[in-house]
Amino acid sequence: MRVAIVTESFLPTVNGVTTSVARVLEHLERRGHEALVIAPAAGAPREYAGARVIDVPSAPYRDFPVGLPTPTVHRALARFAPDVLHAASPFLLGAAAIGAAHRLRIPSVAIFQTDLAGYAARNNLAAASSFAWKVVTWVHDKADLTLAPSSAALADLQAAGVQRLARWGRGVDLDGYHPRNRDRASARTLRSQLSPNGEVVVGYVGRLAPEKHVERLAALAGIPGIRVAVVGDGPSMASVRRALAGLDATFLGALHGTELADAYAAFDIFTHTGTEETFGQTIQEAQATGLPVIAPRAGGPIDLIAHDETGLLTDPEDPLAIRDAVLTLATDPAARARRGEAGRRAVRGRTWEALGDQLIAHYGRVIDVARGRVAEQSALTAV
């Protein structure tokens, strides 16, 4: 199978979209499929996991390079002649790619991953939110299939009138993120830095941006015996630092690979603060590490956390709810251990290999439908 992946974000930019695309490319290579990547030009590698990378002009927006639609997209797809187009979190670049695929009679699969309408609503821009949903519907309705990562995202798309929907989650590296990492020397060293006197470490991992609401961790001020650790970077760094000035907080910056796995292993509790997540990949990574997770009862976390079993879901409208949840777990080591073990069990079947095979199956279905359509049209023409 030949797969063209057009993505709004790619290396060296690291975020959920980039990570998902990278894992998909690695899986396609393992399964013997051929892939091509079209991505914004911002230092992207020439090749990744055996796939050639073609870049297009981009413009910066909030620290992200935004790919601009150019004739390069149509030409690249025509030359590569893929069996299917994979549009990752389509916006400007992805919309152009889906349109080009339609003209070239290439079936397309769009991956819904960024809640643009939710961001607009958060800023009290009702008109912008309504317009954003119109854009989302316009883009995704041109695709042969849209894959949503969670039941909440699926419901939002259905309410917006998007057709041809299915659910596809995300995988997690069960070996890279594992409870045994706590015994690794580097993780123990970090743990001693974060918890010099045996404090309970409450950790956050993710981008520091307005939609992540990391400032809500300020509600933990005054809880005895805890330390807060923040992993990540982004445009809200200054705001988050100001908000958490009253806490004993450590900012570790953006971490990757073994260093990121060590950070999870050094935590006792994982907190997720955003209310607009379409999925919540860091929640799965924390669960794979055996951590209890606290998150708002909104969006993707609803599917990932079994309340009072693998963690605690909090009222998204109550900024102080996170404080009560942390107090509940911080004072009960046995409860933390039970929820952490349950979280690890919950993600055992969510490997990238399993999710990658599910995605390939989705590709196969849209390809079969497209071929059936062509055969039907040929038969009608012959008549």
Tell me if 306 sits within 8 A of 247, measured CB to CB. no
Tell me if 58 sits within 8 A of 65, measured CB to CB. yes
Residues in the chain: 383
**Dihedrals φ, ψ of 271, to 5°?**
-115, 135
- Mean pLDDT computed over 271-283: 95
pLDDT, tens digit, 9 for 90 and up, residues 2-42: 999 999 999 998 888 999 999 999 999 999 999 999 999 87
Question: Which helix (H) or strand (E) element contains residue 20?
Answer: helix 16-30
Residue listed under structure tokens 């809500």: 216
CATH number for the region 2-171+351-382 comes to: 3.40.50.2000
- Mean pLDDT computed over 137-159: 94
Tell me if 163 sits within 8 A of 141, measured CB to CB. yes
pLDDT of residue 381 exceeding 70: no
Residue listed under structure tokens 């404080």: 323
Residue listed under structure tokens 């969510």: 350
> Do strands 47-48 and 51-56 pair parallel, antiparallel, or not at all (unpaired)?
antiparallel
- Mean pLDDT computed over 198-218: 96
Using 50, 70 and 90 to split pLDDT, how confident is the model at 125?
very low
pLDDT, tens digit, 9 for 90 and up, residues 172-189: 999 999 999 999 999 999
* Domain boundaries, given as residue ranges, for the chain: 2-171+351-382, 179-346
Cα 88 from chain centroid (whole Å): 11
pLDDT of residue 124: 46
Question: Which helix (H) or strand (E) element contains residue 37?
Answer: strand 34-40
- Mean pLDDT computed over 224-249: 96
Distance, in Å, from the CA atom of 205 to the CA atom of 252, rounded to the nearest integer, reads: 10
Q: Identify which of 20, 282, 280 has the alpha carbon closest to the alpha carbon of residue 150.
A: 280
pLDDT of residue 375: 73
Q: By three-state DSSP, how is residue 62 classified?
A: coil
- Thinking of the domain 179-346, which architecture would CATH place it in? 3-Layer(aba) Sandwich (3.40)
Average pLDDT of the chain is 93
* Percent of the chain residues past pLDDT 70, beyond the cut: 94
pLDDT of residue 131 exceeding 80: no
pLDDT of residue 130: 74
pLDDT of residue 210 exceeding 50: yes
Distance, in Å, from the CA atom of 150 to the CA atom of 299, rounded to the nearest integer, reads: 7
Geometric angle at alpha carbon 114, from 109 and 143, rounded to 5°: 20
Cα 83 from chain centroid (whole Å): 25
Q: Identify which of 245, 257, 310 has the alpha carbon closest to the alpha carbon of residue 283.
A: 310
- Mean pLDDT computed over 141-151: 96
- Mean pLDDT computed over 191-206: 98
pLDDT of residue 95: 95
- Mean pLDDT computed over 191-196: 98
pLDDT, tens digit, 9 for 90 and up, residues 71-114: 999 999 999 999 999 999 999 999 999 999 999 999 999 999 87
Interacting residues of 98 by C-beta distance below 8 A, sequence separation 6+: 85, 87, 90, 108, 110, 139, 142, 143
Of residues 44 and 167, the one with the higher pLDDT is: 167
Distance, in Å, from the CA atom of 260 to the CA atom of 331, rounded to the nearest integer, reads: 26
Distance, in Å, from the CA atom of 290 to the CA atom of 339, rounded to the nearest integer, reads: 8
CA distances from 244 to 207, 209, 236 (A): 16, 15, 12
pLDDT, tens digit, 9 for 90 and up, residues 330-375: 999 999 999 999 999 999 999 999 999 999 999 999 999 998 877 7
Q: By three-state DSSP, how is residue 243 classified?
A: helix
pLDDT of residue 41: 81
pLDDT of residue 118: 55
CA distances from 108 to 3, 35, 281 (A): 10, 14, 24
Distance, in Å, from the CA atom of 289 to the CA atom of 256, rounded to the nearest integer, reads: 15
Tell me if 15 sits within 8 A of 9, measured CB to CB. yes
pLDDT of residue 126: 46
Listing DSSP states for 92-103 in one string gives HHHHHHHHHHHH
Assess whether the region 2-171+351-382 and the region 179-346 belong to the same CATH fold: yes
pLDDT of residue 280 exceeding 80: yes
